[in-house]
Amino acid sequence: MVNQSLPLDTVFHALADPTRRAVISRLLKSPAPVTRLAEPFEMGLPAFLKHLAVLESSGLIHSEKRGRVRTCHINGERLAAAEGWLAEQRAVWAGRTDRLAAFAESQHSQEQEE
Amino acid sequence: MVNQSLPLDTVFHALADPTRRAVISRLLKSPAPVTRLAEPFEMGLPAFLKHLAVLESSGLIHSEKRGRVRTCHINGERLAAAEGWLAEQRAVWAGRTDRLAAFAESQHSQEQEE
DNA sequence: TGATTGGTTCACCATATGGAAAACTATAGA
DNA sequence: TCTATAGTTTTCCATATGGTGAACCAATCA
């Protein structure tokens, strides 16, 4: 059906869920084991593991297992990939192709909005 | 099942599809009517209209109908909302809470990647 | 008026997604 | 060794998603 090979597809899809975004926010602070990560959420572990699988297959996180505990880490570069696409689009919106100018633009308008 | 009320959910979900991202890229250049927008894609109009509905309900685009022609427009601010969330996350990743510093940071690392 | 164009609606289908419950594996600790 | 802990696998279910074809409505235009 959909060609899920495109990295942006999987990254944006991974971000389209509050549980997964919360996991990312948490992991940005420091790596953490699975059960620690799962604590704040109401769902069972199997459901939570599916979210982790989505995050991992999108490349937003990776994990390694030592003993019986699997520790998850963030992959900041993938976040940057998504941000980069959006920044490019906003650059077009601002009527420019120069990416640095676009960043300055987004920065500026964001300050005004707050 | 999922609480789709959160705007970020619907925005990221809308972005998680190459057809919809292409429509956004197209609309950033200028508004366009439905059939013009649909031209580049293989799918039938009903399927394409569903994509437009997803984009519209996410707030990324809006449209108005004059005569029998519906013209679609981009909503740049919604794109900025997604970019803003990502920028905040990357700010944490960079070990900072200052958003301007985070933008500078993302700008810097993106130049290095190319 | 009749035909075309632009869009819409409807019924339907296959697959994906997000969740639950239960049973299981393997490492750590007492 | 026994038991608790951390995670995994499997099966199952309801709903969402992305697509189709066919019928339909409403402006234009010849």
- The answer on pLDDT for B21 being more than 90 is yes
Which residues in 27-66 of chain B line strand C, with CB less than 7 A from it? 33-36, 45-46, 49, 65
- Best residue in B4, B85, B86 to probe A by mutation, most A CBs within 10 Å? B86
- One-letter amino acid for residue B13 of the chain: H
Higher pLDDT, A7 or B51: B51
Task: Give phi and psi for B60, each to the nearest 5.
Answer: -75, -30
Residue B55 has pLDDT above 80, yes or no: yes
| Element of type H or E holding B67 | none
Digit-coded pLDDT (tens) for A94-112? 764 444 454 444 444 444 3
- Decide if A110 and B28 are in contact by the 8 Å CB cutoff: no
Q: Out of B18-32, B61-75, B92-106, pick the least confident.
A: B92-106
A2-24 pLDDT, tens digit per residue, is 444 578 999 999 999 999 999 99
* Residue B108 or A83, more confident: A83
Give the pLDDT score at A81: 87
Distance B77 CA to D28 C1' (A): 36
Which residues from A are below 8 Å from B85, CB to CB? Answer: 21
Q: CA–CA separation, B49 vs A21, rounded Å?
A: 28
Whether the per-residue pLDDT at B107 is higher than 60: the answer is no
Confidence label for B108 from pLDDT (cuts 50, 70 and 90) = very low
Does at least one atom of strand C sit less than 7 Å from the CB of B70? yes
Do residues B70 and B79 lie in contact, with contact meaning Cβ atoms separated by under 8 Å? no
Q: Looking at the domain B7-74, which fold is it?
A: Arc Repressor Mutant, subunit A (1.10.10)
Q: What Å distances lie between residue B95 and A36, A91, B88, CA to CA?
A: 22, 26, 11
Cα A80 to chain centroid distance, Å, stands at 9
Q: What secondary structure does DSSP assign to A57-110, as a single string?
A: HTTSEEEEEETTEEEEEE-HHHHHHHHHHHHHHHHHHTT---HHHHHHHHHHHH
- Split at pLDDT 50, 70, 90, the class of B94 is confident
Chain B residues with CB under 8 Å of A16 CB are: 8-10, 12-13, 15-16
Delimit the domains of chain A by residue range. Answer: 7-74, 78-113
Chain centroid to CA B50: how far? 15
Residue in chain B closest to A4 (alpha carbons) equals: B17
User: pLDDT class for B15, splitting at 50, 70, 90?
Assistant: very high
- B65 vs B52: CA distance, rounded Å: 14
Instruction: Give chain B's mean pLDDT.
Output: 84
pLDDT for A69 equals: 97
B16 or B99, which is more confident? B16
For A66, A94, B113, the CA distances from A98, given in Å and listed in that order, are 46, 10, 16
